[in-house]
Amino acid sequence: MRAEFDFQPAGRRRVEAAFDAGRVSSDGGLLLLRELTKSSGVFRRFASCFRDHRDPSRIEHTVEELLAQRVLGLLCGYEDLNDHDTLRDDALLALAVGKADPTGEQRKRERDRGHALAGKSTLNRLELATPLVAGDERYKKISYDDDHGIQRLFVDTFLAAHAEAPAEIVLDLDATDDPVHGQQEGRFFHGFYDGYCYLPLYVFCGDFLLGAALNTADEQPVSHAVEELERIVGQILARWPDVRIIVRGDSGFCRDEVMRWCEDNGLFFVLGLQKNSRLVAEIEDEMNEARAIAERTGKNARVFKDFRYETNRSWSCERRVIGKAEYTTDKENPRFVATNLSCDEYDARGLYEDLYCARGDMENRIKEQQLGLFADRTSAHTLRANQLRLWLSSVAYMILNELRRLALVGTELAHAQVSTIRTRLLKIGAIVTTSVRRIYVSLSSVFPFQHVWWRALDNLRPAHS
């Protein structure tokens, strides 16, 4: 590796550079994440879902520390395990993880001294975790089971964020493609997405992530929807027995089993309904009216119809359907929504435009998690390891959402996405100095968002006092 680099001169002076400044961290914002995660105990609760079968006398990196290192790395933009072979020397990351010796100078083995954190091989053992550990197993001694312990963490965080139960909540269901490029377990071709992929199912309530299940592409997303709803709704109603719940989703979830489950359990639903010839014929008069308005005004026009509908075979009963007859300047755009909400509560236009269309914001949350927090980095061989990667990304999103909700309220970053928060709040040059009595972190004096940084810290202190 080259020791020095030459650049274009500045006048008569040479410009040279080298990576020789020592352990300067580029992630000074880890101090804010440390303040938030230590106060909330999120990593302690996450680690409680795992079982550690290693010899306690030989452990230097606890499960809680391994999970914290992995999740904080994702938040700072390091999605690859290989990155941690260098990051293990980052004293600020070690401090945020919870290491009392952030420089690693006091580690047991001489060859490990100076490396406070775990390398890629140790972190990889998390992804190799199995439900059970064999007695003669040498490396895979960390396990977790599939009793929904990890997924309960997301709903618990959502519930704890509310001082009192809301009168009504809306649960958004959606699935997206997660392309795979190797021979991963559970790899199937999906015709709609025209590629090999997984189909993770997400459940959100506003900005709160409540569930993330990695499903294979040989099944419809709706196949596991009722199972996820049973788990999430059961956990919510155990705390808030009187809350009114509306389930919202696109046409992929408009299946009789979902609607019937909602009806049987006292829930409401607003689900997109795939158009067909019968439905289009039902709103023919409204479409002609919309066409006339559009041609007269030169603008898009919408006319709504509220009617009862039942499929020929797949539905068990007749249900309320809203038809949107929309004519743009050059074509028809019919859309339909099925619901069990009453006409007295929502008229046709209000239900479609105000309630159903609001689900579009959930797609932004999914993009944020996949693109900003690497939820689509499912390149491990086994489906189980890739599910854990999805959960690691989900915990990172949960922490980021709490940072927005608690620390960034009232600031210009209160509604910023992860990429903006990472650039403007977390990426700060920092030098860590340790002594017997204190650990001192020197942050860049020319950081332009110091006012937001200090406001975030001030907001965090009363939030967890």
Q: Is 445 found in the same domain as 367?
A: no
E strands present in 257-344: 268-273, 301-309, 319-327, 335-339
Strand partners, 302: 326
pLDDT of residue 182: 87
- Asked whether residue 187 falls in the same domain as residue 279, the answer is yes
Per-residue pLDDT reduced to its tens digit, 198-224:
999 999 999 999 999 999 999 988 999
Question: Is 450 contained in some domain?
Answer: yes
Q: What CATH number should be reported for the domain holding residue 259? A: 3.90.350.10
Query: Is residue 282 within 8 Å of 288, Cβ to Cβ?
Result: no
Residue 130 binned pLDDT confidence (cut-offs 50, 70, 90): confident
**Total number of domains in the chain:** 2
According to the model, what pLDDT value does residue 344 have? 93
- Same domain (yes/no): 110, 246: no
Q: Which of 228, 122, 198, 208 is nearest to 377 (CA)?
A: 198
Same domain, yes or no: 115 and 32:
yes
Specify whether 159 is located in the same domain as 119: no
Q: Which residue bears the tokens 């064999």?
A: 134
Task: List, for residues 134-152, the tens digit of each pLDDT value.
Answer: 766 767 788 887 666 899 9
Q: Which domain holds residue 12?
A: 5-145+428-463
Average pLDDT value over all residues in the chain: 93
**What angle, rounded to 10 degrees, do the helices at 383-402 and 63-75 form?**
70
Please give the pLDDT value at position 423: 95
Please tell me whether residues 285 and 341 are part of one structural domain.
Answer: yes
* Per-residue pLDDT reduced to its tens digit, 316-341: 999 999 999 999 978 999 999 999 99
pLDDT reading at 463 higher than 70: no
Amino acid at site 165: A
Q: Are residues 56 and 101 in the same domain?
A: yes
Taking only the tens place, the pLDDT of each residue in 339-370 is 999 999 999 999 999 999 999 889 899 999 99
DSSP state of 409: T
Residues 172 and 42 in one domain: no
Q: Give CA separation, 138 vs 72, 127, 143, in Å.
A: 27, 15, 13
User: What is the per-residue pLDDT for 146?
Assistant: 66
The residues near 402 (Cβ < 8 Å, ≥ 6 apart) are 36, 40, 42, 157, 161
138 with 197, same domain: the answer is: no
The pair of structure tokens assigned to 325 is 């007859």
Which of 356, 372, 388 represents a domain boundary (last residue)? 372
Q: Are residues 189 and 231 in the same domain?
A: yes
Question: Does the structure show a pLDDT above 90 at 244?
Answer: yes
Average pLDDT over residues 91-100: 96
Residue 289: the pLDDT is 96
Model-level pTM?
Answer: 0.93
Burial of 33 (0-12, 13-18, 19+ CB in 10 A): buried
Q: Clarify whether residues 193 and 206 are in a common domain.
A: yes
Q: DSSP assignment of 339-393, as one string?
A: E-S-TTT--HHHIIIIIIGGGHHHHHHHHIIIIIS-TT---SSSHHHHHHHHHHH
Looking at the structure, tell me whether residues 124 and 244 fall in a common domain. Answer: no
Look at residue 384 in the predicted model and tell me its pLDDT: 92
pLDDT in tens, 382-424: 999 999 999 999 999 999 999 999 999 999 999 999 999 999 9
Cα separation of 27 and 353, whole Å? 42
